[in-house]
Amino acid sequence: MNELLIAGARRWGDAAPTDLAIRDGRIVALGAEARAQPAAATIDARGQLALPGFVDGHAHLDKTFWGEPWQPHRAGPTIADRIDNERRQMRELKLSPARQSARLLRHMVARGTTHARTHVDIGPDVGLAHLHGVMATRETHRGFIDLQIVAFPQTGVMRQPGTLDLLDAAVREGADAIGGIDPFAIDGDADGQLDGIFAIAARRGCELDIHLHERGEQGARSIGMICDRAQALGLAGKVALGHAFCLGELPPAVLEPLLARLAALDIAVMTHAPMGYLPFPPVRRLAEAGVRLFTGSDGVRDAWTPLNTGDLLERAYLIAYNSGFRDDAGLELALSMATFGGARVMRLRDYGLAAGCRADLVLVDAECAAEAVAAHPPRRLVLRHGRIVARDGAALLPQED
Amino acid sequence: MNELLIAGARRWGDAAPTDLAIRDGRIVALGAEARAQPAAATIDARGQLALPGFVDGHAHLDKTFWGEPWQPHRAGPTIADRIDNERRQMRELKLSPARQSARLLRHMVARGTTHARTHVDIGPDVGLAHLHGVMATRETHRGFIDLQIVAFPQTGVMRQPGTLDLLDAAVREGADAIGGIDPFAIDGDADGQLDGIFAIAARRGCELDIHLHERGEQGARSIGMICDRAQALGLAGKVALGHAFCLGELPPAVLEPLLARLAALDIAVMTHAPMGYLPFPPVRRLAEAGVRLFTGSDGVRDAWTPLNTGDLLERAYLIAYNSGFRDDAGLELALSMATFGGARVMRLRDYGLAAGCRADLVLVDAECAAEAVAAHPPRRLVLRHGRIVARDGAALLPQED
């Protein structure tokens, strides 16, 4: 006896609707085979499109204002202004990382996210408090979403003595990866920062996921230095870069050799298709060069920007829109970044819509994946391990507060 | 006896919720005065934000694929490629402009649009067929949306002999304005096109709304020539420019004098914040210079692009996102383009949320206008002339097909 039969859903890539049988949280059979056994419950998908659950590969759950009164943005225009302003707002608002992360997760689940990798601030000012808060949320929400945590030195590494020890402690206490940030622009000591974080990664066997806002040649230098260390320490496949704005503004003679190195070292690149005035990686070119790509919400309604929404299907739309993609292949590439791309970064097993995969999926009113990106329609149903966790845009999680 | 009381709605700009009384399609009283008379029906807005009905100032209703099977995009990258491909697809698909425009209007109403200005293709290949089709839709949908029609020479003016006569005929038959397109790049005869269309506008007393995709200095030359003619013919306040990509890439020494002329001649500029690889007008600078701004959907799911959605609140978000606005003033500027800016271009009387205004309004779950743009949440209720025309994202219009 199966637990659930989803009847008449069009899987991404399939020309016609099919049936999916679900048992023990997995897709156990498709088509006629799915109907061969009775099911305890049936959902008539009426031809809706089934997509695998979205993977938010770059979130900042600990710092969101989600659920709080509206906070007008008030930071200056530079990265340094935004870091200073954020610290000030965090001190003033005294928000609980546990509560805030739970609030935002609820919204993300409602929009179809079933897996997320979140950066969590670590530093002398906050210590490991954000890590502990988000780890608590990870426990209380284990039934609703899979969460990876990156210990993230938002305020810098070398300019904030003690940060390397905190990163190391964070991994011991349960962080899945450690981060880094702008080794030249924030720290002014690229060797120091990169040597420090790579040493921890090599010693602890954890992954690296490094924020890189540095522009132009400076960013290219940092990427080269990251490649050098990934190669020397045998960390191929264990490093990711977040933002990498510089890849959107380098001349081909500089860009192409970098892409070849990123592909050879299997270093993944995350872009959330930033606000229009910023460059961002040319994702079609990166994909052609064999560079793994993924995406994420980045900070949702926080001190950095009020504009991100935590909706990964809308994020795929923004990637397509700002990349100038109009063809189906481009729209599907954007969607793959919000699904399979993030799944590979998170090393998810059994991800997808094939028989045997975990039943993490989203139903939307669309004829095909390209239309789903173009229209990014409401999520009709979100299934996680075969259980309905959201319906018609509302999460079915217990209310936190 | 009032027809409707909307209780507890927060009007854009108000700190606290208030009540709105509606009679004969108008907002007749606010606050305690609104409650002084009984109402036939009451809607509890529960603190939702009330925005004036959205004004889509630049649509292409006649050419949408809306409601048809998904059409993968297949045009080449240039404007000329896209025009040629569009003509080919239009011939192949043989879609009815009346039916297609009705289908898309229904969707736009569901998303909160209560007024729209649509360009309608005019040319030797299609004659006035699109005009007649959209005029039919204007009649059948008079109860749901206010529609202005611009006769638009998509395939050019001077390169398509007979087009000027068709534009003239279109105004006689019911078009509200006439358009133009890239007088250098498409026609190669800027004087010919501009003299021709300005002569019709001056003779018929109609407005001009000109598409301008031309880039850089070429675009700046066209804008200068448009200003010359608006000034010479006394057409100040009667001309609008669509897209005007060039305004996003001119050096200040060229841009600023142009902005001063646009402001002095009260020429409005429309941008839909195009795909990220394209420049677009720096809207905050234009607003500061006193240039009137508005926005629109542009072509929704047509041969030009599958990516526009016909959702004006999402469009305000894209303007903010791609302009790099994070502050409330920037978000509200974007929203004003989707509301008051378009209302002024369409010369709507009694537009807004003050007592005496026509009751065209949208309710959304948001604390303030900035949040409405940032989150662009579902439309809970759309009122047009005091009548509910959409609820929870679904239009309450009779189904066409």
Domain assignment present for residue B221? The answer is: yes
Cα of B169 to nearest chain A Cα, Å: 35
Q: Decide if B73 and A393 are in contact by the 8 Å CB cutoff.
A: no
pLDDT at position B397, please?
80
- What CA–CA distance (Å, rounded) separates B193 from B202? 14
- Number of compact structural domains in chain A: 2
Cα of A225 to nearest chain B Cα, Å: 29
Tokens of A275: 């606000």
Give yes or no for B16 touching A (CB within 8 A): no
Q: Which residue of A has its CA nearest to B368?
A: A70
pLDDT at position B137, please?
97
For residues A255-274, average pLDDT: 98
Cα of A38 to nearest chain B Cα, Å: 34
What residues 92-121 of chain A have any CB closer than 8 A to a CB of chain B? none
Q: Which residues contact B158 (CB under 8 A, 6 or more apart)?
A: B187, B188, B189, B192, B193, B196
Are residues B8 and B111 located together in one domain of the fold?
no
Residue A91 pLDDT level (bands cut at 50, 70, 90)? confident
Q: Decide if A273 and B278 are in contact by the 8 Å CB cutoff.
A: no
Cα of A143 to nearest chain B Cα, Å: 27
Are residues B335 and B203 located together in one domain of the fold?
yes
Task: Dump pLDDT digits (tens) for A114-132.
Answer: 999 999 999 999 999 999 9
pLDDT at position B399, please?
67
Are residues A22 and A127 located together in one domain of the fold?
no
Q: Decide if A393 and B378 are in contact by the 8 Å CB cutoff.
A: yes
Are residues B364 and B323 located together in one domain of the fold?
no
Write down the pTM of the prediction. Answer: 0.97
Tokens of B172: 């006689």
Domain boundary among A311, A330, A345: A345
What is the 3 state secondary structure string of chain B? CEEEEEEEEEECCCCCCEEEEEECCEEEEEHHHHHCCCEEEEEECCCCEEEECEEEEEECHHHCCCCCCCCCCCCCCCHHHHHHHHHHHHHHHCCCHHHHHHHHHHHHHHCCEEEEEEEEECECCCECHHHHHHHHHHHHCCCCCEEEEEEECCCCCCCCCCHHHHHHHHHHHCCCEEEEECCCCCCCCHHHHHHHHHHHHHHHCCEEEEEECCCHHHHHHHHHHHHHHHHHCCCCCCEEEEECHHHHCCCHHHHHHHHHHHHHCCCEEECCCCCCCCCCCCHHHHHHCCCCEECCCECCCCCCCCCCCCCHHHHHHHHHHHHCCCCHHHHHHHHHHHHHHHHHHCCCCCCCCCCCCECCEEEECCCCHHHHHHHCCCEEEEEECCEEEEECCEECCCCCC
Q: Which residue of B has its CA nearest to A321?
A: B275
Q: Which residue of A has its CA nearest to B314?
A: A314
Give yes or no for B275 touching A (CB within 8 A): yes
Which of B14, B66, B68, B70 would you mutate first to test chain A, the one with the most A CBs within 10 A?
A: B70
- What CA–CA distance (Å, rounded) separates B231 from B202? 12
Domain assignment present for residue A294? The answer is: yes
- Residues from chain B that touch A306, judged by Cβ atoms under 8 A, are 326, 331, 370-371, 374
pLDDT in tens for each of the 401 residues of chain B? 899 999 999 999 998 999 999 999 999 999 999 999 999 999 999 999 999 999 999 999 999 999 999 999 999 888 888 888 998 998 899 999 999 999 999 999 999 999 999 999 999 999 999 999 999 999 999 999 999 999 999 999 999 999 999 999 999 999 999 999 999 999 999 999 999 999 999 999 999 999 999 999 999 999 999 999 999 999 999 999 999 999 999 999 999 999 999 999 999 999 999 998 899 999 999 999 999 999 999 999 999 999 999 999 999 999 999 999 999 999 999 999 999 999 999 999 999 999 999 999 999 999 999 999 999 999 999 999 999 999 999 999 876 55
Q: Decide if B326 and A309 are in contact by the 8 Å CB cutoff.
A: no
Q: Decide if A277 and B368 are in contact by the 8 Å CB cutoff.
A: no
Q: Decide if B321 and A275 are in contact by the 8 Å CB cutoff.
A: yes
The length of chain B is: 401
- What CA–CA distance (Å, rounded) separates A294 from B123? 45
Q: Which residue of A has its CA nearest to B301?
A: A374
pLDDT at position A90, please?
87
Domain assignment present for residue B323? The answer is: yes
pLDDT at position A316, please?
98
- What CA–CA distance (Å, rounded) separates B338 from B108? 13
Give yes or no for A372 touching B (CB within 8 A): no
Q: Decide if A326 and B306 are in contact by the 8 Å CB cutoff.
A: yes
Cα of B164 to nearest chain A Cα, Å: 32
Q: Decide if B307 and A317 are in contact by the 8 Å CB cutoff.
A: yes
Are residues B288 and B177 located together in one domain of the fold?
yes
Give yes or no for B335 touching A (CB within 8 A): no
Are residues A236 and A340 located together in one domain of the fold?
yes
- What CA–CA distance (Å, rounded) separates B319 from B274? 9
Give yes or no for B15 touching A (CB within 8 A): no
- What CA–CA distance (Å, rounded) separates A322 from A110? 25
- Residues from chain A that touch B307, judged by Cβ atoms under 8 A, are 317, 320-321, 326, 374
What's the ipTM? 0.97
Q: Which residue of A has its CA nearest to B329?
A: A72
Domain assignment present for residue B330? The answer is: yes
Q: Is the pLDDT of residue A250 over 60?
A: yes
Give yes or no for A42 touching B (CB within 8 A): no
Are residues B265 and B370 located together in one domain of the fold?
no
Which of B65, B73, B78 would you mutate first to test chain A, the one with the most A CBs within 10 A?
A: B73
Domain assignment present for residue A275? The answer is: yes
Structural domain span for residue B45: 2-52+351-395
Are residues A28 and A159 located together in one domain of the fold?
no
Q: Decide if A276 and B378 are in contact by the 8 Å CB cutoff.
A: no
Give yes or no for B13 touching A (CB within 8 A): no
Of A73, A326, A375, the CB nearest to B73: A326
For residues A151-173, average pLDDT: 97
What residues 62-81 of chain A have any CB closer than 8 A to a CB of chain B? 69-70, 72-75
Domain assignment present for residue A191? The answer is: yes
Are residues A131 and A228 located together in one domain of the fold?
yes
CB pairs under 8 A between A and B: 88
Task: Dump pLDDT digits (tens) for A333-380.
Answer: 999 999 999 999 999 999 999 999 999 999 999 999 999 999 999 999
Give yes or no for B375 touching A (CB within 8 A): yes
Domain boundary among A345, A360, A384: A345
Q: Decide if A276 and B321 are in contact by the 8 Å CB cutoff.
A: yes
- What CA–CA distance (Å, rounded) separates B292 from B269? 6
Which of A12, A64, A66, A73 would you mutate first to test chain B, the one with the most B CBs within 10 A?
A: A73
- Residues from chain A that touch B368, judged by Cβ atoms under 8 A, are 70
Selection from B345, B343, B365, B346 nearest residue B354 by Cα: B343
Give yes or no for A273 touching B (CB within 8 A): yes
pLDDT at position B80, please?
87
Q: Which residue of B has its CA nearest to A332?
A: B72
- What CA–CA distance (Å, rounded) separates A335 from A329? 10
- Residues from chain B that touch A317, judged by Cβ atoms under 8 A, are 307
Across-strand partners of B7? B44
Are residues A317 and A169 located together in one domain of the fold?
yes
- What CA–CA distance (Å, rounded) separates B264 from B132? 36
Q: 């880094």: which residue's tokens?
A: A180
Residue A220 pLDDT level (bands cut at 50, 70, 90)? very high
Of A74, A374, A378, the CB nearest to B307: A374
Across-strand partners of A119? A150
Q: Decide if B322 and A322 are in contact by the 8 Å CB cutoff.
A: yes
Q: Decide if A277 and B322 are in contact by the 8 Å CB cutoff.
A: yes
Are residues A162 and A84 located together in one domain of the fold?
yes
- Residues from chain B that touch A323, judged by Cβ atoms under 8 A, are 275-277
Cα of A323 to nearest chain B Cα, Å: 6
**CATH number for the domain that contains residue A28:** 2.30.40.10
Q: Decide if B326 and A307 are in contact by the 8 Å CB cutoff.
A: yes
For residues A35-53, average pLDDT: 96
DSSP three-state, residue A359: coil
Domain assignment present for residue B401? The answer is: no
Residue A53 pLDDT level (bands cut at 50, 70, 90)? very high
Q: Decide if A374 and B301 are in contact by the 8 Å CB cutoff.
A: yes
Cα separations in angstroms, A191 against A216, A229, A235, A269, B227: 19, 10, 17, 21, 57
Give yes or no for B368 touching A (CB within 8 A): yes
pLDDT at position B38, please?
94
Q: 């609104």: which residue's tokens?
A: B34
pLDDT at position B401, please?
53
- The share of chain A scoring above pLDDT 70, in percent, equals 99
Across-strand partners of B233? none
Are residues B335 and B368 located together in one domain of the fold?
no
Of B73, B323, B327, the CB nearest to A276: B323
**CATH number for the domain that contains residue B261:** 3.20.20.140
pLDDT at position B190, please?
98
Residue A400 pLDDT level (bands cut at 50, 70, 90)? low
Angle at CA of residue B108, ends B102 and B111, nearest 5°: 150
pLDDT at position B79, please?
85
Cα of A169 to nearest chain B Cα, Å: 35
Domain assignment present for residue B218? The answer is: yes
The pLDDT mean for chain A works out to: 96
